[in-house]
Structure 1
């Protein structure tokens, strides 16, 4: 492994720790209680994140037949939970921020079980891939995803004033970390970047737009208000791309698997900003307002 790949391999877990700890810092017991009192949107969003969007990723891989490593990376990207940026966009778009945060954390915790399963299912389609033992994959997910979230939640519970002070710096650091990780993967694969972008670009854009559309439609199917539909569209359209890059670039040992997540992390902001602008134009201000 060259120095750039080594730097990315070391930097990715550190960046992911920052991102996932930041998620934990935003969560309070009141957020859970508020959303559990009206669980329709929460249930719809969870099914969408954990089942519907991964199935969409598999369908796109079958229909477009990209190279095996791109197909595997696409399914990994589809199975990722939402990320911290979806919480920010929900806030900017006057969506249901509490619902966004709870969905992000709940899906991140559930992904400990579902993401390894989707990853292994995708890898089974790539006969040249080395499939890691399921127990090893789950153990690494526990260490890199759940542990920092629980740490952030513990800080929020025990030291709420401290959590409030560091929440914004963590959010900014998360955005910077994601950008650096995309850059790092690009540097590690710089000779192959044009080919990978050509192979992954279209399917990743379709996955992004399709995920957002599924979020809105699932919200409509359960009779959720527009504020919640917007939130579900953002949550299913925006992914924790850093986690996908970590899985592809370090847990699976081949940065090619990380390409779809890296591309996703770059393209997801376009539709998200359109949705946020729509929310600001059509939804009333105020956290608990209807619409």
Structure 2
């Protein structure tokens, strides 16, 4: 990628996206986990434990090249994206739960993202040429938390303005992600065909499995349909912008960002198709427990 895009454009892009998340958040969104913990705890367990384990299984089974394998594990360690709430809204999920999960997991990822990505780097024995300095990671999460805090402050003090800004910021976030994907593709254009052949199947399988795990595991544990749909979208729709940012700016390797770019394209198609399936499935089932606590 061009240096101006990475050093200036990427931080601004991530800041805008996280500011948009803050515009949807209130302090009560964090408190909700303590008051109604079941669905949130199950979803977070899926995202923080099952998902990385599933991803690692795919990385090993498909014998992915080192940098692409690290990139896919980095994506697995990234929290849900703001788009997850949009998919939940479209397919009758519990949007409030999505907002809570994204907020809480963005905080937890300060610890889990370096651990999971560091494990992948060690697994491939690439510590000598792929570094994850703690200072840089802390800077990344400062870049996440500060815009979120500003967005929350704006919502608390200027709720009308926050409501008006919601749609423009969402549109800007989508456009930013498209630009980042194009940037990755252009930067790696000489090898993109090989990369797609190597990572396309893994990304598709990982996306499909993430959506399915996010729905069926909570359902099997008694979580009502709307919350299971929210969990599915939260686990299947990642913050790819964050993964690309960490790959390019922290790990200093554009190839590691390729899985996140490929996954971003696949996840929109898969999430839309999956959302139609689960919303129809829920509409044909009794909803007596739909108002049960999350």
Judge same fold: TM > 0.5, yes or no: yes
Following the alignment from structure 2 to structure 1, what is the Cα–Cα distance between the partners of residues 149 and 47? Answer: 21
User: Which residue does 2:245 correspond to in 1?
Assistant: 246
User: Which residue does 1:49 correspond to in 2?
Assistant: 47
Residues 101-116 of structure 1: pairs in structure 2 closer than 5 A: 101-116=99-114
Root mean square deviation of aligned Cα: 1.9
Residues 145-156 of structure 1: pairs in structure 2 closer than 5 A: 145-156=144-155
User: Scaled by the length of structure 2, what TM-score is found?
Assistant: 0.91
Following the alignment from structure 1 to structure 2, what is the Cα–Cα distance between the partners of residues 105 and 222? Answer: 23
Q: In 1, are the aligned partners of 2:81 and 2:237 still within 8 Å (CA)?
A: yes
User: Which residue does 1:99 correspond to in 2?
Assistant: 97
Following the alignment from structure 2 to structure 1, what is the Cα–Cα distance between the partners of residues 269 and 158? Answer: 36
Following the alignment from structure 1 to structure 2, what is the Cα–Cα distance between the partners of residues 202 and 231? Answer: 25
Q: In 2, are the aligned partners of 1:56 and 1:78 still within 8 Å (CA)?
A: no
Following the alignment from structure 1 to structure 2, what is the Cα–Cα distance between the partners of residues 142 and 67? Answer: 28
Q: In 1, are the aligned partners of 2:78 and 2:238 still within 8 Å (CA)?
A: yes
Q: In 2, are the aligned partners of 1:238 and 1:272 still within 8 Å (CA)?
A: yes
2:6 corresponds, among 3, 6, 9, to 9
Q: Where do 5+ consecutive residues of structure 1 fail to align?
A: none
Deviation of 1:282 (Å): 5.2
User: Which residue does 1:257 correspond to in 2?
Assistant: 256
Deviation of 1:93 (Å): 0.6
Following the alignment from structure 2 to structure 1, what is the Cα–Cα distance between the partners of residues 38 and 221? Answer: 6
Which digits, 9 at most, give the CA deviation of each residue in 1:172-194, with x for residues without a partner? 11111111100111111111110
Which digits, 9 at most, give the CA deviation of each residue in 1:263-290, with x for residues without a partner? 1111001221123323554557xxx964
Which digits, 9 at most, give the CA deviation of each residue in 1:23-44, with x for residues without a partner? 1111123434445432111001
Q: In 1, are the aligned partners of 2:72 and 2:259 still within 8 Å (CA)?
A: yes
Following the alignment from structure 2 to structure 1, what is the Cα–Cα distance between the partners of residues 216 and 132? Answer: 36
User: Scaled by the length of structure 1, what TM-score is found?
Assistant: 0.92
Following the alignment from structure 2 to structure 1, what is the Cα–Cα distance between the partners of residues 158 and 168? Answer: 16
Following the alignment from structure 1 to structure 2, what is the Cα–Cα distance between the partners of residues 169 and 272? Answer: 22
Report the secondary structure of 1:268's partner residue.
Answer: helix
Give the ranges of 4+ consecutive aligned residues of structure 1 lying more than 4 Å apart after TM superposition: 288-291
| Count of matched residue pairs | 285
Which digits, 9 at most, give the CA deviation of each residue in 1:104-153, with x for residues without a partner? 11111111111011111111123345343542243123222222222211
Is 35-44 or 254-263 further displaced after alignment? 35-44
Is 193-202 or 7-16 further displaced after alignment? 7-16
Which digits, 9 at most, give the CA deviation of each residue in 1:40-70, with x for residues without a partner? 1100111111221111111111111111000
Residues 155-194 of structure 1: pairs in structure 2 closer than 5 A: 155-194=154-193
